[in-house]
Amino acid sequence: MSCSTGYSVNGACAAVPTSARITYDVKTDKSTYTSSESIQIYITATNNTSEVKILNWSNGCQTSYAVANYDSSVGQMCTQNQTSVSIAPGASKTWTITHNPAVYRIPAGQYKLSGKVLGFGGADILITISDTQPTASIVLTSANENKTGTAGVYTSGSFNNNPNDWKWTLNLNMNGNTKTIFSIKITGAGAMQGDIWTTNTSNWPVVVFRNGEQLNTRMGQTFSVGPNTETLYLYGQQSAKTTWGGGTLTVTFTDGTSVSSAIPSPATASLSSSVLGLPAGSLTASAIGATTDAQVSGNIASASKFRFTQFLEQGSYGNEVRELQKLLNKAGYDAGNVDGVLGAKVKAALMEFQTDNKLKVDGLVGYEVRTFLNR
């Protein structure tokens, strides 16, 4: 008796069991993409038999994939040489293919992606293409910093007409996307007309901090962000113009996409009065001297403040940690959700605050920090 499957049990034709055949699988590097993202596709053949399996092709094309209205096998360029792959018992062979959105941009929706080992078998997987792109919001949070300098200087100490730097707080909602930032550009408007800071040209630099760590020390460096919300702190050297009149942020990614946001002037951003032109050094004190449940005040002597009395370190919890989180968040340092737990994010925000205020940078709320906060 001859079976179309080539396999029989007790004289009857039957499906070939997994243990007696090669199985095929397809995976992608993640399940959700934007239409501008590349997709890494992994097609795997697994030898479930006890003997070596050899797959032969008459040319150099061994795999293909199809998704939406695109089929990679159409017009596929193949060498004319015969090729083969040998798979040992219990072993696998994986092929990696990259879908390039520049060749075919998949519309938003959910799709079956089919991966094939040509002439042998294949499998399907569901992927989602989202039309949600990253968004950005940014505000000026300080006019009295010292993190950067003039052209080519990515450290403190270098200045033109005055020693102070701007500090902007950027909240970048990646909406499920993971991307690499190619450049960040800030253009001043109003009183700052003509001033430009960037991360990848010869303009005065934007120095970027995340979780207390400086991400760039020279022109042209890139860094990855996503897939959730990122908080970045940006610094730019002031010119002779020391009043911020608003501006524009543009973040460009290596895939060619970008996101922009207006940077409001303090009058429309409800910022500390320090940004509006108080003497250097008053901004941080004003922000930190604010009550934890009120707007930032420039008069810390008369502000009714919470009084810190406990030593706090990573792992501490309770009401004093909760008040510390409120205070840091209001001052422009990202301490995360107010949950009363001093975790890694709160420690990073505290260390940035200590750095900005020339305190010992140890992430601890000790005597020095409590004295500063309670003054």
Judge if 20-130 and 135-269 fold alike in CATH terms: yes
Check residue 279 and report its DSSP letter.
P
- pLDDT band, residue 284 (cuts 50/70/90): very low
Q: Structural domain boundaries of the chain? A: 20-130, 135-269, 281-374
pLDDT of res. 4:
54
Closest by Cα among 366, 354, 372 to 316: 366
**Residue, of 269 and 220, whose pLDDT is higher:** 220
Angle at 260 between CA 173 and CA 160, to 5 degrees: 110
- Confidence check: pLDDT of 302 > 70: no
Helix (H), strand (E) at residue 268? helix 266-269
CATH T-level fold of 20-130: Immunoglobulin-like (2.60.40)
pLDDT of res. 10:
58
**Tens digit of each residue's pLDDT (9 = 90 or more) over 125-154:** 999 988 778 899 999 988 888 899 888 889
Query: 0.75 exceeded by the pTM?
Result: no
Question: Is the CATH code 1.10.101.10 the one for domain 281-374?
Answer: yes
pLDDT of res. 168:
94
- Confidence check: pLDDT of 218 > 80: yes
Helix (H), strand (E) at residue 330? helix 319-330
**Residue, of 212 and 191, whose pLDDT is higher:** 212
- Confidence check: pLDDT of 281 > 80: no
- Confidence check: pLDDT of 56 > 90: yes
Q: How many helices (H) and strands (E) does the chain have?
A: 5, 23
Instruction: Report the C-alpha gap between 187 and 352 in whole angstroms.
Output: 25
Helix (H), strand (E) at residue 114? strand 109-117
Look at the block and give the residue holding tokens 């293909």: 64
Question: Is the CATH code 1.10.1200 the one for domain 135-269?
Answer: no
**Residue, of 312 and 52, whose pLDDT is higher:** 52
